[in-house]
Structure 1
Amino acid sequence: MLSRRVLAGVALAALALTGCGSSDNDSDTPGTGGSSAGSEYASLSGELKASGASFPDAYYQEVITSFKDVAPDVTVNYNATGSGTGKKQFGQGLVDFAGSDSLVKDSDGVAAGSFLYVPTVAAPITVSYNLQGVDKLQLSPETLAKIFQTDIKTWNDPAIAADNPGVTLPNTAIVVAHRSDGSGTTNNFTKYLDAAAKGTWKLGSGDTVNWPSSTQGGEKNTGVAQIIKQSNGAIGYVDLSDAKATQLTFAAIKNKDGQFVAPSLEGVTAGLEGAEIKEDLSYNPLDAAGAAAYPITAPTYILVKTKYDDPKKAELVKGFVKYILTDGQELAKDVDFAPLPTSLKDKALAQLDKIQG
């Protein structure tokens, strides 16, 4: 992770130098990383407070650091509390915007019509595991469902063996790791199992589910990653960025076309191509069709208010989110996130025109 962030910083520095050396005839097109970006945001000042999903935290921190270069008088604090807490704090007016990988429900305390979804990036949810002697693993959705609801208890179970012909699997007990906090990652992972393993998966879907008592819970994606890292026989669901940072091994998952696909940004992009975008800009790329599609692809959103009491605050939110959707998209791949397709990015930018202040 550190090396990717360093490289991103070097690239940004190079872009900034290029912008400083540009002539007066350079294009003012937003999102190019040139001097126009600096002039557009340099007049902004103030502080933004936000909380929410830990899934996109690595990406948002990269963008916040980069935004400081073009808007030096703006401070953005994003606290990765998990989607559930982020939505509640947003509804209570404790933060200016929130990050969430899941959609708002009545129980979140956010009034209908008071907010907008702004999609930002997408990424794979890995099924990461720690199994001594096994560095390649394939899992079908039905087998995955049985593992996570503890119907399958050891790694040499016939169902896992059937997914992995020719692989010697040990008689090691399976340790299931999951999120202990309200989480959009949990929501998307369980929503995937509900769709792809219908009839097998029995725990439903949501930011929290009633996991079997023998399983282990960790706070945030990083907490789940640590349980997996420290326990031989462990398996859990973790975003790609944190899985790589923790040096976890992850399984290839059987997609709707019957292909076992490992988590990758290319697999995410393939999954996004077939996703249906709703009028409010929510969309569902889970279990998407396509031979190259990685099936556990998760969207993530920023929740913004339709009206801010302070016009200056509205301008700050609009400016920062616009930066995410333009220059910030160029940083996504450096921290293992996929940028939005152009058509969806353009619709997300149009959402900002609806913010009043």
Structure 2
Amino acid sequence: MKKLLKLAVSALAVISMFVQPLKASSVELIGAGATFPYPLYSKMFDVYNKEHGIKINYSAIGSGGGIRQLMAKTVDFGGTDAFLTDKEIREMPGSAVHIPTCIGAVVFAFNVPGVSELNLTPDVIAGIFLGKIKKWSAPEIRKINQNVKMPDINIVVIHRSDGSGTTFIFSDYVSKISNEWKNSVGTGTSLKWPCGLGAKGNPGVAGLIKQIPGSIGYVELIYALSNKIPFACVQNKSGIFIKPSLLNTSIAANVELPDDMRVSITNTNEKNGYPICGFTWIIVYKEQNYDNRPFEKAKELVNLLWWITHQGQRYTEALHYASLPKEAVVKAERIIQSITYNGKPIIK
């Protein structure tokens, strides 16, 4: 018996000389930015770490913060729901590219006692967020919600207090349907709000809505669903009241896409499309050899981007995001293939 035990131990020792455990890469990728896609990114980055041994540390601080950190070169990538303007691109310390990762819907979540279904028209949306429609019992609201008993209570607008791509999508839409909003407030990640209370991030806005009766605010669809907050049907350009869903979010993206993927898809012309949708992007520097950045880190970043736009898309629908259309994937492939190290493509 002792002899057999010695033989077994010797055999294991020999095997261990040849079979080594799989080592995780020493590379860690750091990103920061949008809260809009954070639930999806959390899932994707966790799966990617388990499959490839690459740790991704992502801070959901808002799109504006992500862009600022990328400009400061303190992160490997920035997450944003607001594509960079031509002026912002010129201000970046290096040429930056946008890689689309998914499509999401911005919904109007509300907390109105006794109300679980709500219709909103473009005029009513503008009126509420401009502070001109002040009560839920206002005739403009009752006219489009005739089967609902609207309480005679004040409307409390909840908006973002931080630089936000979700705010960009929301304000891009409202600027298209209201000249008054366009001229007095405009489109941007940070706005001079005419009314309301501010909260940080999509989680903060959802949290305030849950706490305050009579409130309404805008959040990405998953934040309304996960917090069990009802959200409104919005009348689109075709006059149809649309309840946000994966299908009508995808339909809204049925537009001609530019090669750089900087595109707005709000206020869609599609008959059955939800009107307040947007792509979300990861932004990186096109030339990856900067600040003594090793090639291995650049290579792992590009590998991650390729995985997100391909294998990673299978995680979108379960978290209520729409996956990238085929045309967007093709555009993303070309953008990723344009990323270089010392002027040479990292992948071909």
Structure 2 equivalent of residue 90 of structure 1: 70
User: Does residue 115 of structure 2 align to residue 134 of structure 1?
Assistant: yes
Q: Secondary structure at the match of 2:152?
A: coil
In the alignment, which residue of structure 2 is the partner of 1:8?
Answer: none
Distance across 1 between alignment mates of 2:239 and 2:200: 33
CA displacement at 1:263 relative to structure 2? 1.0
Which of 76, 84, 93 lines up with 1:104 in the alignment? 84
Alpha carbons 2:260, 2:335 under 8 Å: kept:
no
What is the distance in 2 between the residues matched to 1:107 and 1:270?
29
Which residue of 2 is the match for residue 165 of structure 1?
A: 146
SS in 2 for 1:60: helix
Q: Contact between 1:314 and 1:355, CA under 8 Å: does it hold in 2? A: no
Q: 1:85-121: CA deviations, max 9, x gaps?
A: 1001001100000100002244688527611010110
Deviation of the 1:134 alpha carbon: 0.9
Specify which of 130, 139, 153 is matched with residue 149 of structure 1: 130
Query: CA 1:123–1:216 in 2, change beyond 3 Å: closer, same or farther?
Result: same
Q: 1:162, 1:344 → 2: CA distance?
A: 40
Name the stretch that deviates more: 218-227 or 42-51: 42-51
Cα separation, partners in 2 of 1:152 and 1:341, compared to 1, 3 Å: same
Tell me the TM-score normalized by structure 1: 0.84
Structure 1 residue aligned with 2:9:
none
The structure 1 residue matched to 2:299, chosen from 312, 315, 321, is: 315
Matching of residue 289 in structure 1 with residue 262 in structure 2: no
Counterpart residue number, 1:57: 38
Is the alpha carbon distance of 1:318 and 1:44 closer, same or farther for their aligned partners in structure 2, counting shifts above 3 Å?
Answer: farther
Q: Which runs of 5+ in 1 are unaligned?
A: 1-41
Q: Does 1:227 align with 2:208?
A: yes
Q: Is the 8 A contact 2:111 2:209 kept in 1?
A: yes
Q: Aligned-residue CA RMSD in angstroms?
A: 1.7
Shift of 1:159: 0.9
> Residue 127 of structure 1 contacts residue 251 of structure 1 at CA under 8 Å; is this kept in 2?
yes
Match of 1:24 in 2: none
For the 8 Å contact 1:311–1:356, the answer to whether it is kept is: no
Amino acid aligned to 1:65: D
Pairs aligned (count):
313
Report the AA paired with residue 68 of structure 2. Answer: K
Q: Does 1:248 align with 2:232?
A: no
Displacement over 6 Å in runs of 4+: none
Q: Does 1:175 align with 2:156?
A: yes
Change (3 A) 1:326 1:88: same
Structure 1, 282-291 or 87-96: larger mean CA deviation: 282-291
Moved more, 109-118 or 322-331: 109-118
Gaps of 5+ in 2: 1-22, 342-348
Equivalent in the alignment of 2:187: 205
- Please give the secondary structure, in 2, of the residue aligned with 1:339: coil
* Separation in 1, partners of 2:196, 2:26: 47
Task: State the one-letter code of the partner of 1:247.
Answer: K
Partner of 2:337: 353
Q: Which one-letter code corresponds to 1:308 in the other structure?
A: Q
Tell me the distance in 1 between the aligned counterparts of 2:44 and 2:181: 40
Q: Which TM-score applies when normalising by structure 2?
A: 0.86
Percent sequence identity over matched residues? 33
Q: Which has the larger radius of gyration?
A: 2
